[in-house]
Structure 1
């Protein structure tokens, strides 16, 4: 059963006990903003155990699981206890470009894992929001079984994380990757396919907007459709289950 108090309770239990890290974000000693919120959602029964994403995937994961956007009233968001906020423009919140946390009361106080205080703290939302330049904000509130909560006795487990959308098993997720080295553009995900040589290259620091990713043949690949309407792939790091070994920033890190 979903429980707002249990969700907030997980965050509260970590106060003063953990540090902030985008590299070692999966606990138990450090988290980043989104991994803390994901763990809180799991503790509250809103997501299945084992679910983990980032600020960008949080939009879809909330919407699929009974959370709806809170609409502003006269330019203000009437936030309540248990609401989840996401700062940043949807589609561009990966890495340090986004932030998320949970409202702990009806008076605009939030609990969040943050770099500024190096851990999980409770702060006045509007003060922190203003200090960070008043970024775009989306607020979600749990309204019920809109997207369908997991059946307690499903015959086949229903995944909560992004699911394959296409025949080649790509997973839908938008973002922008910035390589720290030269990366090749490929027509497929086979790095040893001599019949499919590099089509082009991205140099260090160049932006690679992508609409999906796939883990294949030992690598993590981002994918996009080029101006000619053809799908392309760029390997951005090894498929090693880590977020600190990619060849740049903008993909789960």
Structure 2
């Protein structure tokens, strides 16, 4: 019987233990993004043994196995859930380096995927990795279920005093992503991290709780905040470039 947990277990059992390779992609020591998902699907009982393909053929194999596309809500965001499979790239043109795939491990945009960037199977925040890779087209599949009608979105939580300002910020150090402007790590733990040099696309900013924060709407539809410098009365004291300075 098909089992999502067995599918996910195949991935987590190899997390941090294998490398990434498009040439030696069938294991046991290395895989690429699509071979890892295919083998996880086989382990979960969703595909017959020895079924293998690439990112582009995955669309058809999933649909034949009973997976349905998850439609975006009215804002264009996908309400992903644990066990959903994502494919980046347009159907018919997503094979090789043109596409990417992996599996959501929770309802908060955490994914597990075999990837070149970390040279193996890792867990990461989908929105951060998606942004770094240029925000490619996304298709999400869910087993035996589909959302056919747009869902009326709830307004993202927004801090009072948020000011519109669009741009791209490039941090010079690791910066945390937060759900609010509370700098207390215990009360508001980091949801993900941007590393030095990553592009952070923002649509607004706010000065709050001793820091300058940039803000954006994540692919999940939730508003996120990143502290980019101290609120010291200056406009050019930031930990990177692209915001005011």
Structure 2 matches for 1:127-206, cutoff 5 A?
A: 127-143=128-144
Corresponding residue for residue 118 of structure 1: 119
Structure 1: distance between partners of 2:95 and 2:15: 24
Corresponding residue for residue 93 of structure 1: 94
Structure 1 residue runs of 4 or more that deviate by more than 4 Å after TM superposition? none
Structure 1: distance between partners of 2:66 and 2:95: 23
Q: Secondary structure at the match of 2:141?
A: strand
Give a deviation string over 1:190-213, Cα, whole Å, max 9, x none: xxxxxxxxxxxxxxxxxxxxxxxx
Q: Secondary structure at the match of 1:35?
A: helix
Give a deviation string over 1:54-86, Cα, whole Å, max 9, x none: 101000000001000000002110000000000
Structure 2: distance between partners of 1:23 and 1:82: 27
Report the Cα offset of residue 94 of structure 1: 1.1
Structure 1: distance between partners of 2:119 and 2:15: 11
Corresponding residue for residue 20 of structure 2: 20
Structure 2: distance between partners of 1:22 and 1:43: 21
1:9 corresponds to 2:3: no
Structure 2: distance between partners of 1:78 and 1:15: 25
1:46 corresponds to 2:18: no
Unaligned residue ranges in structure 1 (runs of 5+): 145-253
Structure 1: distance between partners of 2:3 and 2:108: 20
Q: Secondary structure at the match of 2:128?
A: helix
Q: Secondary structure at the match of 1:112?
A: strand
Unaligned residue ranges in structure 2 (runs of 5+): 146-245
Corresponding residue for residue 36 of structure 1: 36
Report the Cα offset of residue 106 of structure 1: 0.7
Q: Secondary structure at the match of 1:101?
A: strand
Give the TM-score normalised by the residue count of structure 1.
0.56
Structure 1: distance between partners of 2:77 and 2:52: 30
Q: Secondary structure at the match of 1:12?
A: helix
Structure 2: distance between partners of 1:85 and 1:52: 17
Structure 2: distance between partners of 1:15 and 1:64: 28
Give a deviation string over 1:121-180, Cα, whole Å, max 9, x none: 000000100010000000000017xxxxxxxxxxxxxxxxxxxxxxxxxxxxxxxxxxxx
Structure 2: distance between partners of 1:100 and 1:125: 11
Report the Cα offset of residue 2 of structure 1: 0.6
Give the TM-score normalised by the residue count of structure 2.
0.58
Structure 1: distance between partners of 2:89 and 2:140: 11
**C-alpha RMSD of matched pairs (Å):** 0.7
